[in-house]
Amino acid sequence: MAMRLEVPPETASPAGEPPGQTEKPRNKPGGWKLAIKRDWRLYTLVLLPLAYFVVFRYLPMAGNVIAFRQFHPGGSIFGEKWVGLKYVTLFINDPSFWQAFQNTIILGVLTLLFCFPMPIIFALMLNELRSQKFKKSVQTVAYLPHFMSVVIIAGMILQNFSMTGTVNQIASTVFGTTVNFTQDAGWFRPMYISSEVWQTMGWGAILYLAALTRVDESLYEAARIDGANRWQQTWHVTLPAIRPTIITLLILNIGTFMAVGFEKILLIYNPLNYETSDVISTYLYRVGLESSNFSYAAAIGMFESVIGLTLILSANALSKRLAGTSLW
């Protein structure tokens, strides 16, 4: 008796199509309208952040045109007349700009070298603690500097590093001498970087601690069975597990490489240490606001933005190529 094979209804192909292929679902017309109508309460939460970025981030970009136009206070916000690359030529030939540019690069590199890995190390150390009470106490103390105003932070730096401050009192007791940290250009970078590490280490560890909670405990158990000690478990299990988080935050930090802490530097620097403390943002403040040379400052600001955009695009492409992780 001949056997008859029947194709199940769910796998049957429409007429005119090869077997095994089914019609792809099509998006229904007005699907996004239905989604907005159904979840309008959630979409309204986006309106305020969206308005913030439009008003304070995107609309001001139109003002960059004064980098190529001569601007006079009280005149048109888009400048009076076209001057082309006049202001670009001016800052390229300005030695003070290149001094500020060099200081920005040095402080940016030092910030990446010291301030970026410290939260990772701190999170790994907290992850090894077994006493939850002690762990929470350490976290609370480490988070506090982040919530302090930059004015308070700057005041603490100036007080502690002054001639009669805590640091000089210790130096006088131990070494029998004192150092004028706030007026010595050679001490500005260590003073700034150490305060930046203290202020950002605790808060920066939050994302890494959250990533560590997702690491599968069975991986640690398998590593222990293979004879791995705590350091080997950290190197071969923990760090690879949080690598996507590390790379994402590294790309974001590279994107803000040129935007070294303007407020803190402005509050703690002085003419005696301009040699190492003056960065592009403080230089822009002096020539743009204090000297009312807005077009010149806009040209420098655009140059800084182009460098920042180039850095984040390059870092993202390099990360995607080498590590397979990127922002987009």
Task: Give the pLDDT score at 14.
Answer: 47
Question: pLDDT tens across 215-241, in order?
Answer: 888 999 999 999 999 899 999 999 999
Mean pLDDT, all residues of the chain: 86
CA dihedral 144, 148, 153, 154 (to 10 degrees): 170
Count of Cβ atoms closer than 10 Å to residue 296 Cβ? 23
Please return the burial class of 49, using the count of CB atoms within 10 Å of its CB with bins 0-12, 13-18 and 19+. Answer: exposed
Q: pLDDT of 171-206, one tens digit each?
A: 999 988 899 999 999 999 999 999 999 999 999 999
- Nearest one of 322, 307, 204 to 255, comparing CA atoms: 307
State the pLDDT at residue 9: 47
d(CA 299, CA 53): 22
Give the tens place of pLDDT for each residue, 72-129: 887 787 888 888 889 999 989 999 999 999 999 999 999 999 999 999 999 999 988 8
The residues, any chain, with a CB within 8 Å of residue 187's CB and separated by 6 or more, are 161, 179, 181
Fold classified for 94-322: MetI-like fold (1.10.3720)
d(C-alpha 255, C-alpha 304), whole Å: 11
pLDDT band at 279 (very low <50, low <70, confident <90, very high): very high
Residue 113: its pLDDT value, please? 93
pLDDT of residue 118: 94
Which pLDDT score, from 0 to 100, does residue 129 have?
87
The domain locations on the chain are 39-84, 94-322
